């Protein structure tokens, strides 16, 4: 029965392979991709409901017993990530129909997209550390191709930085996994969680924890390791950078949440204090970096970094409310950030540029677009009653409860500066008059085909509606996050589900 | 034997990081290859190195006696080698394309996404 757990991984692969059979038929690929990601979304909603009602589920691949074979495990954190990745995959597929250029579609954009989603879902699902490395590589190699697809100079330069640093991070990850296997004799995460407290040598566990912090930290773009992100995320087309901005760094954050709540919990005073300090520095450096930028997507890229800080802060606090805040933050942030990149893509379609100095006057022509920008932008800044307010509020309350007043001060200050950056975009792109010398290249919305307009705006409205819905009705989401935090903070639930229920 | 392996891993990793910090793209890719080998050898030595002992359970016995090398990390290395080969092949193709586009293999000439962030990058249109 539990083989349905493999569906979020197998189904995108299936769609990807089907699309490869229609390599020369662009329109068939578009239809299959849109239909396929809709089905993935339905599957993810069903699976989330299933795991929510019947507890942690495991799939023992090949029916090998738990510590020996590869397993897929779905707890509430996993399902949050699977659900949100399905939402973003769906929205991006629709958005791509409107904005992706023909050349990229001819060179396998849609299959790559689906394979990347497979890799993302696989890394969420797996309950085995080495298997997680393999899934990381699956998603990395397809994201490498996506970021370089098109071969513009900026894309290639961004891709080089992205590729080198991510391969370095993978190498560190494998070393960590190898040594961890050497000292414990296990790769299964539940098995590791059981064995590590029994190790006589606590020092090496902390060293391993740092290996994982650095390697996942590069992927999650935390404080000293984020430089690849603003160098590469603004170079590919808007649809690609939107799904990157939403999902890819969050795979690293998910991995951090997983290992630092399940495996490396023997010396919380050491590891999680480091995480809190890194979180504060990440927030500050991201938001200050954004303040100095004058390019639409680069500002948003730097804000990914500062927002990662909030999630990591929730993890570092290691209290039920902190973890719940972190989980809630991830969910809210992915939706909001993807939406902002979508909006930037629409502005680029209309005005032909992302540079703030060349943009202007969008609000006067397209008030609806202005509104659709404001919803995610203010949510990112944490203005009530939007989703970002509840996320920031939860993390802030958790910081107060733990007595981390410095972290609280930093997070509030960073919230203010986030708002500043969003208002800068608002002023420059939407409000100010566009300078006449830059107005020549632009096209009006009416010149675009109706289908294209619909496909561009539908996902933006869809994600904005989710943001509003979470903002006006946060209680079920917070309850869900609390349950997820309860599972994360009591690793015995996870361990029993994986090892106790072995067939 | 582990001692020799440890020294080799150290030399490989040092050279790898030295090469990756150079500005030439060719040296960066060589550094990535070296680092991959250092990583694989690390995992290899983690599993203990034994000579002339295969990890087969003899007939009439249910467990292995004596010290023997754990075969699982060797399987992990096989996976890591294959994956590393794929990513390195991709990186070489990417670097070649970037070299053609930029006309130089100096990484210092490839910082337009960072320093020219408020301008249009030439060669993009």
pLDDT grade for B61, boundaries at 50, 70 and 90: confident
Q: What per-residue confidence (pLDDT) applies to A65?
A: 81
Does the residue B57 lie in any domain? no
Please indicate whether, in this complex, the C-beta atoms of B113 and A157 are within 8 angstroms of each other: yes
CA-nearest residue to A129 within chain B is B76
Does the residue B59 lie in any domain? no
Please indicate whether, in this complex, the C-beta atoms of A164 and B28 are within 8 angstroms of each other: yes
Q: What per-residue confidence (pLDDT) applies to A448?
A: 81
Of A79, A193, A217, A157, nearest to B104 by C-alpha is A157
Q: What per-residue confidence (pLDDT) applies to B123?
A: 62
In this structure, chain A runs to a length of 503
Interface with A, mutate which of B94, B102, B121 (most A CBs under 10 A): B94
Give residues with Cβ within 8 angstroms of A294, minimum separation 6.
A355, A356, A357, A428, B117, B118
Give the tokens for residue A187.
């790769």
Does the residue B123 lie in any domain? no
CA-nearest residue to A176 within chain B is B43
Report the C-alpha gap between A74 and A125 in whole angstroms: 6
Q: Which of residues 406-465 of A touch B (CB under 8 A)?
A: none
Q: Which residues of B touch A356 (CB under 8 A)?
A: 118
Contact A398, A314 (CB under 8 A): yes
Residues of B with a Cβ under 8 Å from any A Cβ are 20, 25, 28, 32, 35-36, 39, 42-43, 46-47, 70, 72-73, 76, 79-80, 83, 86-87, 90-91, 94-95, 97-98, 101-102, 107, 110-114, 117-124
Give residues with Cβ within 8 angstroms of A391, minimum separation 6.
A310, A325, A328, A329, A332, A333, A382
Residue ranges for chain A with pLDDT beneath 50: 502-503
Q: How many CA atoms lie within 13 A of A491 on its CB side?
A: 20
List of long-range contacts for A404-407, beta carbons under 8 Å, 24+ apart: A404/A276, A404/A317, A406/A280, A407/A276, A407/A279, A407/A280, A407/A313, A407/A317
Q: What are the backbone dihedrals phi and psi of residue B106, each rounded to the nearest 5 degrees, phi first?
A: -85, 120
Q: Which of residues 178-207 of A touch B (CB under 8 A)?
A: 178-179, 181-182, 185
pLDDT grade for B58, boundaries at 50, 70 and 90: confident
The CATH number of the domain holding residue B84 is: 1.10.287.3510
Please indicate whether, in this complex, the C-beta atoms of B79 and A171 are within 8 angstroms of each other: no
Identify the helix (H) or strand (E) that includes residue A118: helix A109-125
Q: What per-residue confidence (pLDDT) applies to B34?
A: 95
Q: What per-residue confidence (pLDDT) applies to A398?
A: 94
Report the C-alpha gap between A93 and A86 in whole angstroms: 10
Q: Is A351 on the interface with B (CB under 8 A)?
A: no
Contact A156, B94 (CB under 8 A): yes
Does the residue B58 lie in any domain? no
Q: What per-residue confidence (pLDDT) applies to A366?
A: 87
Cα pseudo-dihedral A78, A81, A82, A84, rounded to 10: 160
DSSP letters for B12-46: HHHHHHHHHTSSBHHHHHHHHHHHHHHHHHHHHHH
Does the residue B84 lie in any domain? yes
Report the C-alpha gap between A269 and A271 in whole angstroms: 6
CA-nearest residue to A173 within chain B is B39
Q: Which of residues 272-301 of A touch B (CB under 8 A)?
A: 293-295, 298
Number of CB atoms found within 10 A of residue A18's CB: 16
Q: What per-residue confidence (pLDDT) applies to B109?
A: 82
Mean pLDDT of chain B: 86
- Directed axis angle between helix A320-351 and helix A475-489, to 10°? 130
pTM of the predicted model as reported, rounded to 2 decimal places: 0.94
Is the ipTM value over 0.90, yes or no?
A: yes
Size of interface A-B (CB pairs under 8 A): 117
Please indicate whether, in this complex, the C-beta atoms of A164 and B91 are within 8 angstroms of each other: yes
Report the C-alpha gap between B17 and A137 in whole angstroms: 21
Of A386, A473, A231, A433, nearest to B112 by C-alpha is A231
Using alpha carbons only, give the angle B15, A206, A285 rounded to the nearest 5 degrees. Answer: 75
CA-nearest residue to A145 within chain B is B90
Please indicate whether, in this complex, the C-beta atoms of B118 and A167 are within 8 angstroms of each other: no
With 0-12 CB in 10 A as exposed, 13-18 as middle and 19+ as buried, what is A269? Answer: exposed
A178: nearest CB among B76, B98, B119: B76
Contact A38, A51 (CB under 8 A): no
Does the residue B63 lie in any domain? no
Q: What per-residue confidence (pLDDT) applies to A287?
A: 93
Report the C-alpha gap between A100 and A93 in whole angstroms: 10
* Helix runs in A185-292, H state only: 189-195, 202-220, 228-232, 238-243, 249-262, 268-291
Cα pseudo-dihedral A304, A309, A315, A321, rounded to 10: -90
B118: nearest CB among A157, A231, A295: A295
Q: How far is CA A119 from CA A16, A21, A132, A172, in A?
A: 12, 21, 9, 19
Contact A195, A184 (CB under 8 A): yes
Q: What per-residue confidence (pLDDT) applies to A260?
A: 94
Q: What per-residue confidence (pLDDT) applies to B60?
A: 82
Contact A375, A464 (CB under 8 A): yes
Contact A55, A71 (CB under 8 A): no
Report the C-alpha gap between A253 and A216 in whole angstroms: 7
Q: What are the backbone dihedrals phi and psi of residue A187, each rounded to the nearest 5 degrees, phi first?
A: -120, -20
Number of CB atoms found within 10 A of residue A375's CB: 24
Using alpha carbons only, give the angle B61, B63, B64 rounded to the nearest 5 degrees. Answer: 105
Contact A293, A462 (CB under 8 A): no
Contact A484, A324 (CB under 8 A): yes
pLDDT grade for B124, boundaries at 50, 70 and 90: low
Q: Which residues of B touch A141 (CB under 8 A)?
A: 86-87, 90
Identify the helix (H) or strand (E) that includes residue A60: strand A57-60
Give the tokens for residue B82.
């294959």
Give the tokens for residue A117.
């989603």
Please count the structural domains in chain B.
1
Residue B50 in this model has a pLDDT that exceeds 50 = yes
CA-nearest residue to A151 within chain B is B97
Calculate how close chain B gets to A273, using CA atoms only, in Å.
29
B83: nearest CB among A137, A164, A295: A137
Q: Which residues of A touch B107 (CB under 8 A)?
A: 160
Domain holding B87, by residue range, is 2-50+70-115
Sign of CA dihedral A183, A184, A190, A194: negative
């Amino acid at each position: 029965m539990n083989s349905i757990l493999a569906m979020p991984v197998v189904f995108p692969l299936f769609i990807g392979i089907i699309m490869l059979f229609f390599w020369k038929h662009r329109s068939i690929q578009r239809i299959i991709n849109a239909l396929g990601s809709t089905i993935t979304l339905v599957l993810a909603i069903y699976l989330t409901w299933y795991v929510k009602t019947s507890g942690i589920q495991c799939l023992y691949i090949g029916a090998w017993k738990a510590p020996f074979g590869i397993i897929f495990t779905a707890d509430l954190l996993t399902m949050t990530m699977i659900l949100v990745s399905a939402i973003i995959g769906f929205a991006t597929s629709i958005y791509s129909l409107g904005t992706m250029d023909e050349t990229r579609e001819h060179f396998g954009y849609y299959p790559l997209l689906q394979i990347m989603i497979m890799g993302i879902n696989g890394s969420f699902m797996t309950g085995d550390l080495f298997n997680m490395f393999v899934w990381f590589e699956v998603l990395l190699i397809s994201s490498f191709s996506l970021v370089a697809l098109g071969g513009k100079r900026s894309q290639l330069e961004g891709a080089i930085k992205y590729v080198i640093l991510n391969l370095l991070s993978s190498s560190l990850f494998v070393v960590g996994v190898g040594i961890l296997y050497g000292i414990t004799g296990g790769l299964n995460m539940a098995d590791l969680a059981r064995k590590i407290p029994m190790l006589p040598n606590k020092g090496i566990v902390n060293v391993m924890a740092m290996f994982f912090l650095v390697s996942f930290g590069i992927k999650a773009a935390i404080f000293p390791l984020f430089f690849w992100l603003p160098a590469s995320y603004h170079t590919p087309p808007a649809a690609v950078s939107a799904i990157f901005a939403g999902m890819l760094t969050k795979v690293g954050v998910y991995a951090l949440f997983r290992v630092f709540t399940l495996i490396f919990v023997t010396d919380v005073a050491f590891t999680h204090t480091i995480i809190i300090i890194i979180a504060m520095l990440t927030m500050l450096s991201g938001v200050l970096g954004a303040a100095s930028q004058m390019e639409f997507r680069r500002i948003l890229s730097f804000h990914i970094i500062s927002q990662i800080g909030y999630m990591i802060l929730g993890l570092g606090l290691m209290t039920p409310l902190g973890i719940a805040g972190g989980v809630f933050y991830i969910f809210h942030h992915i939706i909001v950030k993807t939406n902002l990149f979508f909006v930037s893509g629409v502005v680029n379609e209309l005005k032909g540029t992302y540079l703030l100095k060349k943009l202007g006057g969008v609000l006067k022509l397209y008030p609806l677009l202005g509104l659709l920008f404001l919803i995610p932008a203010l949510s990112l800044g944490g203005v009530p009653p939007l989703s970002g307010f509840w996320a920031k509020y939860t993390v802030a309350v958790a910081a107060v409860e733990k007595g981390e007043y410095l972290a609280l001060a930093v997070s509030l200050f960073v919230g203010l500066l986030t708002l500043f950056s969003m208002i800068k975009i608002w002023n420059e792109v939407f409000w100010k008059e566009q300078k006449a010398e830059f107005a020549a290249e632009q096209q009006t919305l009416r010149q675009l085909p109706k289908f294209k307009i619909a496909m561009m705006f539908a996902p933006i409205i869809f994600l904005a509606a989710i943001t509003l819905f979470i903002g006006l009705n946060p209680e079920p989401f917070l309850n869900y996050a609390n349950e997820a935090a309860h599972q994360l903070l009591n690793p015995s639930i996870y361990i029993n589900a994986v090892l106790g229920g072995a067939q | 034997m582990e001692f020799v392996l440890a020294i080799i891993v150290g030399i490989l990793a040092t050279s790898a990081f030295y090469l990756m910090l150079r500005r030439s793209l060719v040296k960066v890719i060589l550094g990535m290859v070296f680092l991959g080998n250092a990583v694989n050898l690390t995992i290899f030595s983690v599993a203990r190195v034994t000579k002339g002992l295969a990890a087969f359970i003899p007939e009439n016995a249910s467990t292995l006696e004596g010290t023997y090398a754990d075969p699982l990390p060797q399987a992990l290395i096989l996976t890591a080698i294959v994956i590393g080969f794929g990513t390195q092949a991709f990186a070489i193709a990417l670097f070649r394309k970037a070299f053609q586009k930029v006309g130089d293999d100096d990484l210092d000439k490839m910082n337009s996404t960072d320093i020219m962030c408020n301008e249009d990058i030439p060669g993009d249109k």
